[in-house]
Structure 1
Amino acid sequence: MMAITAAQVKELRDRTQVGMMDAKKALVAADGDMDKAIDVLREKGLAKAAKKAGNVAAEGLAAITIDGNVAAVIEVNSETDFVASNDKFQNFVKLVGQAVVANKPADMPAALALTIDGQTIDEAAKALTAVIGEKISFRRFEIVEKGDGDHFGAYLHNAGQIAALVTVEGADEETARDIAMHVAAINPKFLSREDVPADQLAHEKAVFTEETINEGKPEKIVPRIVEGRVNKWLSEISLVDQEFVKDSDKTVAEYAQSKNGTVKGFVRFEVGEGIEKKQDNFVDEVMGQIK
């Protein structure tokens, strides 16, 4: 059997808000597999939801550049948040956005080979790293194209910590921007429930079924309860089904319809998401300050 570490227990507690012993038992039952341990806790009704792993470590800026019917959402990273307010860094982010939207590169290698100020973006990032004294990296981008009858809604939260871009068919730019604000705040995973992968849907259904059975519900009503829980979960992760933040009486789809529009797509970049944070040993850190 795999030895369970205190760090694993802490991560599971941070992600599920359960007690220490419950977290340890779940990890033992799952043989140290974090995702399985979360399912074990959910099936027992101890954890209603779990936060994504991977503390956000990278700093920097996310930005949106729009040129007619083409938009680019980009993320450029630095090591500290202090650099995000540096004029040279901000100018680099602006030039990268302009180059990406103008050239529509197919992938990151093609994007890094684009030219700004007479050098490739890759070379410019390295040069800026030398000037600022902190690693600068152009991490990712997404190109979005719209039709003439569509509107882009762009919203930057906290000066570029989150960038949300929404495409709405019909309606107007203000409606699209309102929905982009919603995307920034609520962080939907999919546009609609139809976009949820079948295996993910099946997995959630299995977990809800186990949880409902463990609650001692009569067998004949279990499928109905599970269906209700699956529908609630789908409405929470699908943008068009979510309650609109500015008017909770309407879903996002209903809000768009009230403005004669339909939501076609969205992109949301949060700076540093999915990047593992460098874990410092707290005890060593304290001891280092005492010496």
Structure 2
Amino acid sequence: MLILRRLLHTSGPGGVLSKSNLAKLRKRTGFSFVNCKKALEKYEQDVDKAEAWLQEQAQKEGWTKATKLKDRATSEGLIGLAFANHNNFSAAMVEVNCETDFVARNESFQNFVNQVAMTTLTHYRKDCEQLSEPVKISISGNDLASLKADSGQSLQDLTALTIGQVKENMTLRRALCMFVPADHYLGHYVHSPLNTIKDKDSFCQMGKYGSLVAFQQKGKVDKHKFQPGEFGRRLCQHIIGMNPLNIGEYTRPPPSEVENQDVEVPKPDEEASKGFSDSEDNIPAPPEEELPTEMLQQEYLLNPSICVGEHLLEHKVTILDFARFEIGENIDGGS
């Protein structure tokens, strides 16, 4: 205790070191006791100047580390899905890669993924406030790197800063934004989420899989049975599990075929209420037989006795667009 008191109250080049300034600087930056003490002494207890210097030194260290590690493979990471907590009209999905799953579970890395997702959503939402139809925007890693976060730093600079913190190579791989008009809905889902970061206006969920779906409901339905948020979430579960390549078309079978079926078909909502586990182990394995790539022709994941087209028809829903991200998947054919 005597040593600590001397350290906090000894006069030096920067004068008497204030406990409150030291605590404030550590809370602001998250840097170590020793580094914060050094910065406060250097700038004579000026917390703002000390913080700026610490960030500058961390940035230099991060760029040095990033240069050394740039050729190391980044096959792990997280999908970050950001959306406003007051509507279902806008969302952004990003993929940020690192070297190991250990770092993907690191708080600094997850905070960075949140920054990337929220910066992406904020930047592109400004140009999509008045819409007459859904919009999907694909963003490359290079375009992501140039975006400015709230701090004024580019995401490229923040990437280097985070590399310096976690000591692993990282890459901004891709992003996608979806926006829909007020009379549409936007479903979202992250499978097996590792973390959720929220503030007063938004949420960001992170995991290994993410999906979005834009849809519209027309006609009268039972409002107690049709809950847009949950309906969209279940569609996104299907998209992650069954990996459709396009929406496709649904053609109703002839009445004679339906009449000759003796199998009792359970109601979709009854089957769907059983839910879909968030455990990554429950992502369905691809069946041996080749499945339809068109979503509307696929068996509905939460009720295999019907196809997605039948499920949508019952609820008078039309799917307009969708997106699916999986960490490390091959995207050579496009994002």
1:206-264 Cα offsets, whole Å, 9 max, x none, are xxxxxxxxxxxxxxxxxxxxxxxxxx96x610111111011122211221222231111
What is the match of residue 224 of structure 1? none
What is the match of residue 120 of structure 2? 100
- Give TM-score, length-normalised by structure 2: 0.51
More helix by share: 1
Residue identity over aligned pairs, in percent, reads: 27
Q: Secondary structure at the match of 2:94?
A: strand
1:169 aligns with 2:203: no
What is the match of residue 284 of structure 1? none
Change (3 A) 1:253 1:193: closer
Mapping 1:103-182, distance limit 5 Å: 103-104=123-124, 107-108=139-140, 109-116=142-149, 117-159=151-193, 160-170=207-217, 172-182=228-238
Q: Shift of the alpha carbon at 1:110?
A: 3.3
**C-alpha RMSD of the superposition:** 2.4
Q: Secondary structure at the match of 1:101?
A: helix
Change (3 A) 1:258 1:106: closer
Q: Where do 5+ consecutive residues of structure 2 fail to align?
A: 1-72, 125-136, 194-206, 218-225, 251-288
Q: Shift of the alpha carbon at 1:98?
A: 0.8
- Give TM-score, length-normalised by structure 1: 0.58
1:71 aligns with 2:104: no
Amino acid across the alignment from 2:212? L
Report the Cα distance in structure 2 between the residues aligned to 1:242 and 1:151, rounded to whole angstroms.
22
Change (3 A) 1:106 1:244: closer
Report the Cα distance in structure 2 between the residues aligned to 1:57 and 1:110, rounded to whole angstroms.
19
What is the match of residue 75 of structure 2? 58
CA contact (8 A) 1:62 1:76 kept: yes
CA contact (8 A) 1:61 1:84 kept: yes
Q: Shift of the alpha carbon at 1:139?
A: 0.6
Q: Could you list the runs of 4 or more consecutive aligned residues of structure 1 that deviate by over 6 angstroms after TM superposition? A: none
Q: Shift of the alpha carbon at 1:103?
A: 0.8
CA contact (8 A) 2:116 2:155 kept: yes
Higher relative contact order (CA 8 A, sep 6+): 1
Amino acid across the alignment from 2:321? G
Q: Shift of the alpha carbon at 1:193?
A: 5.7
